[in-house]
Structure 1
Amino acid sequence: MSKQNAPHPKNVAGDFYVVDQCCTACGVPTHHAPETFAFENDQSGASCYVHRQPTSPEEVDRALMVVRCQEFGCIRYRGTNPVILRRLTEADSGDQCDAPLPAGLRPVLRNHVAVEAKSRDARSWESDIVLKRFCQWLTDQLRHQTTPIIRSGSGASFSFSWTEKNFHPVMASPLGDGPGRWLLQHSGNLAASETIDEWLKGEDELGAVRWYSQEEWTRGLPGQTRPW
């Protein structure tokens, strides 16, 4: 480990750590993974540190989200788990790993997601109803800006944005010959995929989520349960 990445002295031993004298109290670590990160005190300018290593797959997911979403690279991963190294590399955060990255990996944008209805009522939904559910969640939970949903044949589309000038189009269309399956696509970035994934994790009427990059979808590959 280089001197530049010396860990904060209050970090507990383990794979995730905070670099000493790096934290700017941005709030990202304690927002996404409060079970893992804490502040050394409540004074202005206090540094965060790892007060407990993740102990479940869900806690690891939240810690990895911190690594991806942080602003200044203060949170690092020094473990050697090949799955985590692959995930961080695909999320364009491989530079936050201390261990050498597996050969041949690169950032991957998975912006295609297949979903299925979980109830009989949902099986009869049109594509615009699926997007209405997402649109309502965006405005209720995150207060994002959205455009009107437009139907086109059996498909539908709308756009959402964190800022007025950067809208991300989202399209929904039926998948396969039977009812109750849809493909959602967007033309935004990884954060757009994460936003859709967050909605789907809490959506009671939809399940069997599979994420694909454009290449994975075109080649008929099996996809995976999360964007990265």
Structure 2
Amino acid sequence: MNIFKNLFNHSTKHKLNCEPTENSSRPRHGLNAEGDFYVEKDCCILCGAPEVEAIGLMGHSDEGCYFIRQPETEEEIEQAINAIAVSCVSAVRYGGTNQKIIKRLYDLKLETECDHKLIKQ
């Protein structure tokens, strides 16, 4: 899946203006629920995959998917992480600083979808 994601990112990121950055100042889809998990503005291509992984947490509009609410339980956090993993254009992101969640994303090779770095201890 990562090979497909990397190829797809390479071919579309310039068109979608979704260049990776090293900071947490990415613009968010306007309908995202306030919180750490979000979808980057103008990057979703409406594939539908993240919404399937995070039913009840995500919705979609004509402008792309977004978080309708933030995860509250460990199970919902895992669903949100799965939504990040299946996003074909890396539009679903984690902007929080919870090191347990960041480590989980790093373990899944999803560090580019984190707005903050893993702090090595």
User: Runs in 1 of length 4+ with deviation above 4 angstroms?
Assistant: none
Structure 2: gaps (5+ residues): 1-23
Post-superposition offset of 1:103:
2.5
1:50 aligns with 2:67: yes
Distance 2:117 2:53 in 1: 26
Match of 2:115 among 77, 91, 98: 98
Q: Which residue type is aligned with residue 44 of structure 2?
A: C
Separation in 2 of the partners of 1:54 and 1:76?
13
- In 2, the alpha carbon distance for the partners of 1:40 and 1:25 equals 9
Q: What's the offset of the Cα at 1:17?
A: 0.3
Residues 19-38 of structure 1 aligned to structure 2 (within 5 Å)? 19-38=40-59
Deviation at 1:27, TM superposition (A): 0.9
SS in 2 for 1:80: coil
Instruction: Determine whether 1:39 maps to 2:60.
Output: yes
| Equivalent residues of 1:67, 1:76 under 8 A apart | yes
* Structure ID, larger Rg: 1
Point out the structure with the larger helix share: 2
The structure where strand makes up a greater share of residues is 1
TM, length-normalised to structure 1: 0.41
The aligned counterpart of 1:152 is: none
Provide the TM-score with structure 2 as the length reference.
0.76
Number of aligned residues = 98
Distance 2:53 2:33 in 1: 18
Distance 1:11 1:69 in 2: 18
Identity of aligned residues (%): 34
User: Relative contact order (alpha carbons < 8 A, sep ≥ 6): 1 or 2 greater?
Assistant: 2
2:120 aligned counterpart, secondary structure: coil
**Residue number among 86, 94, 99 corresponding to 1:69 in the alignment:** 86
CA-atom RMSD in angstroms: 1.3
Do residues 80 (structure 1) and 101 (structure 2) align?
A: no
Q: CA deviation at 1:64?
A: 0.3
Alpha-carbon separation, structure 1, partners of 2:84 and 2:45: 14
Q: What one-letter code is carried by the residue in structure 2 that aligns with 1:77? A: Y
1:70 deviates by 1.3
**Equivalence for 2:30:** 9
| Structure 1 residue 88: Cα displacement | 0.4
Amino acid aligned to 1:86: K
Using the alignment, how far apart are the partners of 2:78 and 2:86 within structure 1? 12
Deviation digits for residues 19-62 of structure 1 (CA, Å, limit 9, x no counterpart)? 00111011111111121110125xxxx41111111111111101
